[in-house]
Amino acid sequence: MHFWIMKSPSENNFLELAAPGVRALQPYQPGKPVEELEREFGIRDAIKLASNENPFGPSPLAVAAANAVIPTMTRYPEGSGHRLVARLARRHGVVPECITLGNGSNDVLDLVARVFLTPAHEAIYSQHAFAVYPISVQATGARAQVAPAHDGSRGPAYGHDLEAMHDRVGPDTRVVFIANPNNPTGGWLATDALENFIAALPAHVMVVVDEAYFEYVGEPAYPDTTQWLDRFPNLIVTRTFSKAYGLAGLRVGYALSHPDVAGLLNRVRQPFNVNLVAQAAALAALDDDAYLASSVSRNREGLRQLLDGFSALDLTWIDSVGNFVAVDTGRSAAEVYAALLREGVIVRPIANYAMPNHLRITVGSNEENARCLAALGKVL
């Protein structure tokens, strides 16, 4: 219809024009939206346990705060996110200059890559680590050093092998990405191991500890690395409002770091990357301790419910401290995923994480978990 689709490919080889790092990229595959599934299969009441979203709806305080600012949305948000930054700084006991706001924490991860990586540099992350790291790294043209995960002999299978990661540090390394806990595996690193790893890094290597699921973790040996910022100036900790705080659709996350590092991140940050509604809702969400506590405790019950159900189906899983769990279907999970879709249940296949037999299932409400388990029993 339009002239550009009629041009011959040779005249328009956009791939060749793209930055070298972008040419080999595959776009991030999000979980399938409920509306899309219902449209495709002509079904209703589908459930989505595919994107580690909070199943209980947002905090009423956040909703009220969002509604209150909607009439003012003709104005730009505050570019500095002043009030949210001040509130976060108080909560974490740091100066506001340590905080960098992001359009989701993915945005902050991307800022780190853009600030510290070039085609002459390298970044390190683990096999099975969160899919945004490779995307952000490769887009800069930097080389990725992927450390093999534990095979189960020296640490929990599929978990980050910090020794293997340390072995890959060289003069060109600028960034190490660590997800704690990791998605899609759900595994976590304990205080001693992570602290020793960071202490042993040379000063020219930034370490990003991605704590997207921090609020869910109840393990006594799980570290709050924001407490280490004074000691490790090369440490960047990322947090998000997308998971336990239930605001995934608004896109708010942030980094805590040395003020000089935050200053660099702010140089490449787009001025209004966190929108007006998101800033207001996030601020209010921080006041709703009851919502957070209830989300965390209901998640623990829901995880138990899923694991009991997996046991009854003779399935094994990777131990998880998050709001999701990777279950081994014992066969190619692609077919199980497709069969579950026909039952109106959306989960996440993770073959793109080199885990072709696993499905990542988000902990839902009691009812959603029951439906998912029933459907899983049926299709297996």
> Counting contacts by CB under 6 A, is residue 240 touching ligand PLP?
yes
Which of the residues 128 through 167 are near ligand PLP (CB under 6 A)? 130
- Contact pattern from residue 250 through residue 279 relative to ligand PLP, giving x for each residue in contact according to CB under 6 A and a dash for the rest: ---x--------------------------
Least gap, CB of 61 to ligand PLP (angstroms): 20
Q: Which two tokens stand for residue 50?
A: 């595919």
Q: Binding segment for ligand PLP among 101-109, 197-205, 227-235, 361-369 (CB under 6 A)?
A: 101-109
Least gap, CB of 228 to ligand PLP (angstroms): 19
Q: DSSP 3-state helix, strand, coil percentages of the chain (rounded to 5)?
A: 45, 15, 40
Q: Which position among 139, 248, 296, 307 is part of the footprint of ligand PLP (CB under 6 A)?
A: 248
**Cβ neighbours of residue 338 under 8 Å, at least 6 residues apart?**
none
Q: Which residue is nearest to ligand PLP (CB)?
A: 104
Q: Which position among 54, 59, 100, 105 is part of the footprint of ligand PLP (CB under 6 A)?
A: 105
First vs last Cα of the chain: how many Å apart? 46
CB atoms within 10 A of CB 252: 29
Which lies closer to ligand PLP via its Cβ, residue 272 or residue 380?
272
> Counting contacts by CB under 6 A, is residue 104 touching ligand PLP?
yes
75 half-sphere exposure, CB direction, 13 A CA radius: 9
Which lies closer to ligand PLP via its Cβ, residue 32 or residue 243?
243
Least gap, CB of 323 to ligand PLP (angstroms): 10
Least gap, CB of 293 to ligand PLP (angstroms): 20
The dihedral sign for the CA sequence 311, 130, 221, 286 = negative
Q: Which H helix or E strand runs over 162?
A: helix 162-167
- Contact pattern from residue 33 through residue 52 relative to ligand PLP, giving x for each residue in contact according to CB under 6 A and a dash for the rest: -------------------x
> Counting contacts by CB under 6 A, is residue 179 touching ligand PLP?
yes
Q: Which two tokens stand for residue 300?
A: 């623990």
Q: Which position among 59, 100, 106, 279 is part of the footprint of ligand PLP (CB under 6 A)?
A: 106
Which lies closer to ligand PLP via its Cβ, residue 131 or residue 370?
131
Least gap, CB of 210 to ligand PLP (angstroms): 5
Q: Where are the beta strands (DSSP E) in the chain?
A: 47-48, 99-102, 122-126, 143-147, 173-179, 206-210, 235-240, 253-257, 316-317, 324-328, 345-346, 348-350, 355-362
| Interface size with ligand PLP, residues (CB under 6 A) | 14
Asked if 291 contacts 61 with a C-beta cutoff of 8 angstroms, the reply is yes
Q: Which two tokens stand for residue 159?
A: 């978990």
270 half-sphere exposure, CB direction, 13 A CA radius: 11
Asked if 212 contacts 242 with a C-beta cutoff of 8 angstroms, the reply is yes
Least gap, CB of 254 to ligand PLP (angstroms): 9
Q: Which two tokens stand for residue 188?
A: 């976590």
> Counting contacts by CB under 6 A, is residue 212 touching ligand PLP?
yes
Which lies closer to ligand PLP via its Cβ, residue 38 or residue 51?
51
For ligand PLP, the binding residues (CB under 6 A) are 52, 104-106, 130, 179, 183, 210, 212, 240, 242-243, 248, 253
